[in-house]
């Protein structure tokens, strides 16, 4: 196995054997449930009854940090643990507890995302559960959920998932601020604010909570100092003993002052990331533009002669690997929407700087090399690029992609920046965008929660309701009738009538989804109070507000809309075969669909259906209809407002996203056969990608189709997922072709693209012999995961993607 892509070590500052040992620990780790956080927050909340909730969360955060188990991972240069064991998932009872108790005996029996759980942990969680019954975020959401939304969920049109039972996450802190001030500098700022006159009660509580949370974090870091010194006393390896002593010394002053070195900067970034995941069980706590905000520390250390490129690479590699020690557990029903133990901790390199010049630097290259050495699913590694990006950086990224690890995913600067500017975000900030989670984009240190991932809306089911007069064939529920009559019968006389029905049905359920968002948001204002995370995001410290209450500078959110290609392909079939060529009647099409395309008559219809152009093949006929589907949703957005509109943020609005993780698989299970020839219960399409296996004219045709979509209006992230045969990138000539393909995607205005470079034979063998493929990392949706950790349905959906070549 080739260790490096291009980098050639010049000294022994990087210990590759140790990197491999640490990588093996993370690759072979076992997921488990940890009860420590749940027990500790319960202890704290029992002593703060009657206090403001923001203060209670801050005090609980400090109590957890002061009493939880800490450890320093063997071999690692980076320290900081989220739970009592490697890859253990903490429990957050303030958000939801009912499902935890219900699933206690099922965690280790799951088909995917399995968690081991001891009897002691089960008893811990049972003992604290009564304290939280009726007092969780989920309880508050359920108390305020109207029957219309409950019925839409029973129809399988809406799915609330995480926003109804967990924290928000999707935060990128202002790393420059943290590195320049440390926690102590922010504590001092909060204390100065408290001396100002005219503060509201909300302001006073916020600043007090910031002080409590950050003081707790500083004491937490000093616990590692004592631990490192203690471990050094008995360490027999001279080099490791020196490293532990260095950690102990570092922790005495870490974040009590500005970062003193590149090593301190990397440790700071990881600690902040991990601490946010202790405060809240949201996900997508991200690193932002690592190569940009860390570059000054790197350059200064190189200049001072205290750092080499080799040592910097080793530190980055260890930081990357420690991300895989963290974990999150979700209810099994929601796990189906996000399989593979994902945390979506995006780290981005490359792209233009706020002044418009390209920001490529040495760290851009070293991060790619670090990802190649680690090859883990976390961090979720992404790269910005533009017309000024050096070709050798693109080539290095391509070399990483062809290893099959699914990273980096590629973001087009010009398209993403325009999308953000059109929302009203100034150019300087838009140019500084980063990925937040999967493919969501926003401004680091200035965005609030949830750039995407609010209510999931199953567009495949919306289409099914259009074909059945608003009645769901599975549940029999009918919330709205197209013709005003009960029952599934509807008689469309023209394609225009079908299209009008689609727009009306989409608006009805999108309105419900926004209402659902608001219900969850209002509960999260209280239960997701996060003074620690908030104080690192503009303008929370200036306004004296948490993120969820309007403290952020830009408040841009979106829902997850699943299946636009399926809808567009289906409408193309209806338009072409029923109303234009008149080769089919409604009765023939619907009868064949009800038969799931089985039987002689249905097979004949299916053959005709398959001949109608499908999205992803550069066919204007169907591509224009998929474009119409996108616009049918975009035109609804100006009427939607977030809960923070007019309450602090300078920009507050809805936008669109096609980032929907693995939800296209479970959403497909709820949808019968569709007019495009898709069979019942099979996956919908993911993001803006073609429906699996329907793109047959090669990769260029795929991006030609996607280029016709309003990509720069999908300002919260446009997901395109492609699969290439390993041979397509196998040698220098093919690698250059792939680099040219990336540049063509840039010029055609493709927002984002990500790749799997694994052949079908490997996937099938991994399904059969999972123990031999624990190192197989695949691009699932907007994130990567171990292939063997996925449920069979998700594995099959990945295998079903077209395996592209250049021929």
Q: How far is CA 612 from the centre of its chain?
A: 34
Cα distance from N-terminal residue to C-terminal residue, the chain: 28
* Stated length of the chain: 807
Scored b (16 or more CB within 10 A) or e, 35-67 reads bbbbbbbbebbeebeeebbbbbbbbbbbbbbeb
Residue 388 exposure: Cα atoms within 13 Å on the Cβ side: 12
Whole-number Å distance between alpha carbons of 215 and 212: 5
Answer whether residue 72 is part of any domain.
yes
Strands 721-724 and 752-756: parallel
CA dihedral sign, ordered 188, 191, 193, 197: negative
Asked if 535 and 210 touch (Cβ cutoff 8 Å), the reply is yes
For residue 45, being part of any structural domain is answered with yes
Q: DSSP secondary-structure letter at 575?
A: I
pLDDT in tens, 570-628: 999 999 999 999 999 999 999 999 999 999 999 999 999 999 999 999 999 999 999 99
Residue 263 has, within 13 A of its CA and on its CB side, a CA count of: 17
Cβ contact 529:282 at 8 Å: no
Distance CA 547, CA 537 (A): 8
The predicted-structure confidence for 484-512, as pLDDT tens digits, reads as follows: 999 999 999 999 999 999 999 999 999 99
Is residue 209 in a domain?
Answer: yes
**319: closest CA among 277, 280, 371, 275?**
371
Residue 665 falls inside a structural domain: no
How many Å separate Cα 546 from the centre of its chain? Answer: 22
DSSP state of 148: H
Q: Which residues, in sequence order, are CB contacts of 636 under 8 Å at separation 6+?
A: 506, 507, 510
Confidence of residue 743 (pLDDT cuts 50, 70, 90): very high
Asked whether 33 and 123 are in contact (CB, 8 A), the reply is no
Share of the chain above pLDDT 90, in %: 87
- The verdict on residue 276 lying in a domain is yes
User: Minimum mean pLDDT among 249-258, 738-747, 752-761: which range?
Assistant: 752-761
Q: For residue 367, what pLDDT is reported?
A: 98
Tens of pLDDT, residues 413-449: 999 999 999 999 999 999 999 999 989 999 999 999 7
Residue 350 lies in a domain: no
Q: What is the pLDDT of residue 802?
A: 86
Kindly report the average pLDDT of the chain as a whole number.
95
- What's CA 5's distance to the chain center, in Å? 27
Q: Which two tokens stand for residue 748?
A: 């055609």
Tell me the pairing of strands 346-350 and 380-385: parallel
In this model, does residue 1 exceed pLDDT 50?
A: no
The total of structural domains in the chain comes to: 1
Burial of 192 (0-12, 13-18, 19+ CB in 10 A): exposed
Give the span between the Cα atoms of 247 and 140, in whole angstroms.
43
For position 444, what pLDDT does the model report?
Answer: 97
The answer to whether 366 touches 332, Cβ cutoff 8 Å, is no
Residue 272's domain comprises: 31-141+173-285
* Greatest Cα pair distance in the chain: 84
Given a cut of 70, is residue 453 above it in pLDDT?
no
Residue 689 falls inside a structural domain: no
Q: How confident is the model at residue 2 (pLDDT cuts 50, 70, 90)?
A: low
Q: Is there a domain that residue 35 lies in?
A: yes
What's the Cα-to-Cα distance from 317 to each of 257, 372, 376, 775, rounded to whole Å?
Answer: 25, 9, 11, 17
- Cβ(268)–Cβ(179) under 8 Å? yes
Q: What is the mean pLDDT of residues 702-723?
A: 96
């Amino acid at each position: 196995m080739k260790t490096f892509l291009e980098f050639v070590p010049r000294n022994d500052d990087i210990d590759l054997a140790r990197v491999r040992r640490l990588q093996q620990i993370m690759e072979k780790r076992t997921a488990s449930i940890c009860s420590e956080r749940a027990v500790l927050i319960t202890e704290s909340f029992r002593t703060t009854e009657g206090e403001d909730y923001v203060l209670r969360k801050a005090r609980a955060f400090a109590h957890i940090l002061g009493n939880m188990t800490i450890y320093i991972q063997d071999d690692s240069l980076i320290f900081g643990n989220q739970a009592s064991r490697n890859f253990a998932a903490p429990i957050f009872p303030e958000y939801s507890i009912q499902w935890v108790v219900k699933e206690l005996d099922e965690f280790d029996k799951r088909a995917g995302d399995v968690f081991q759980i001891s009897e002691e942990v089960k008893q811990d969680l049972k003992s604290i559960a009564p304290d939280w019954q009726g007092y969780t975020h989920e309880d508050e959401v359920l108390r305020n959920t109207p029957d219309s939304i409950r019925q839409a969920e029973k129809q399988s049109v809406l799915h609330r998932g995480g926003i109804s039972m967990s924290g928000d996450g999707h935060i990128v802190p202002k790393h420059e601020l943290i590195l320049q001030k440390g926690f102590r500098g922010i504590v001092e700022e909060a204390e100065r604010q408290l001396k100002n006159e005219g503060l509201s009660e909300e302001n006073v509580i916020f600043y007090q909570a910031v002080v409590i949370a950050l003081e707790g974090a500083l004491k937490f870091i000093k616990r590692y100092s004592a631990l490192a010194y203690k471990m050094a006393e008995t360490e027999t390896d001279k080099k490791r003993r020196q490293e532990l002593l260095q950690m102990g010394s570092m922790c005495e002053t870490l974040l009590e002052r500005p970062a003193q070195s590149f090593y301190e900067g990397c440790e700071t970034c990881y600690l902040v990331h991990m601490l946010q995941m202790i405060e809240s069980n949201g996900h997508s706590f991200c690193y932002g533009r690592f190569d940009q905000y860390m570059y000054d520390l790197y350059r200064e250390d190189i200049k001072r002669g205290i750092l080499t490129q080799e040592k910097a690479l080793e530190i980055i590699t260890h930081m990357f690997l420690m991300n895989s020690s963290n974990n999150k557990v979700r209810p099994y029903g929601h796990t189906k929407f996000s399989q593979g133990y994902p945390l979506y901790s995006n780290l981005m390199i490359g792209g233009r700087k706020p002044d418009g010049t390209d920001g490529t630097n040495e760290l851009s290259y070293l991060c790619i090399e670090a990802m190649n050495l680690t090859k883990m699913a976390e961090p979720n590694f992404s790269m910005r690029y533009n017309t000024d990006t050096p070709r050798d950086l693109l080539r290095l990224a391509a070399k990483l992609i062809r290893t099959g690890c699914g990273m980096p995913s590629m973001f087009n600067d010009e398209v993403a920046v325009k999308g953000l500017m059109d929302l009203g975000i100034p150019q300087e900030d838009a140019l500084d965008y980063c990925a937040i989670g999967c493919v969501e984009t926003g401004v680091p240190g200035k965005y609030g929660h949830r750039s995407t991932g609010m209510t999931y809306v199953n567009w495949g089911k919306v289409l099914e309701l259009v074909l059945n007069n608003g009645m769901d064939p599975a549940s029999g529920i009918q919330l709205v009738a197209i013709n005003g009559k009960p029952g599934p019968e509807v008689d469309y006389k023209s394609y225009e009538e079908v299209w009008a029905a689609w727009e009306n049905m989409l608006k009805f359920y999108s309105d419900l989804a926004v209402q659902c968002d608001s219900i969850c948001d209002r509960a999260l204002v209280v239960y997701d109070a996060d003074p620690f995370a908030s104080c690192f995001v503009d303008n929370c410290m200036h306004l004296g507000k948490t993120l969820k209450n309007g403290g952020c500078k830009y408040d841009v959110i979106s829902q997850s809309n699943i299946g636009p290609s399926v809808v567009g392909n289906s409408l193309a079939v209806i338009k072409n075969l029923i109303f234009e060529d008149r080769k089919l009647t409604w009765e023939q099409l619907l009868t064949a669909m009800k038969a799931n395309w089985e039987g002689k008559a249905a097979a004949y219809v299916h053959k005709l259906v398959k001949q109608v152009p499908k999205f992803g093949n550069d066919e204007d006929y169907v591509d224009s209809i998929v474009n119409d589907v996108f616009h049918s949703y975009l035109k609804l957005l100006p009427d939607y407002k977030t809960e923070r509109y007019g309450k602090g943020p300078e920009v507050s609005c809805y936008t669109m996203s096609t980032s929907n993780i693995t939800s296209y698989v479970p959403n497909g299970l709820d949808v019968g056969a569709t007019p495009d020839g898709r069979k019942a219960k099979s996956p919908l399409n993911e993001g803006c990608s073609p429906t699996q296996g329907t793109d047959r004219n090669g990769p260029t045709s795929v991006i030609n189709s996607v280029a016709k979509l309003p990509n720069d209006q999908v300002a919260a992230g446009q997901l395109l997922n492609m699969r290439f045969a390993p041979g397509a990138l196998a040698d220098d000539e093919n690698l250059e072709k792939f680099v040219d393909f990336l540049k063509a995607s840039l010029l055609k205005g493709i927002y984002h693209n990500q790749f799997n470079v694994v052949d079908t034979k490997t996937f099938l063998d991994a399904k059969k012999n999972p123990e031999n493929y624990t190192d197989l990392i695949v691009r699932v949706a907007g994130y990567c995961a171990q292939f063997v950790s996925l449920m069979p349905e998700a594995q099959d959906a990945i295998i079903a993607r077209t395996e592209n070549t250049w021929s």
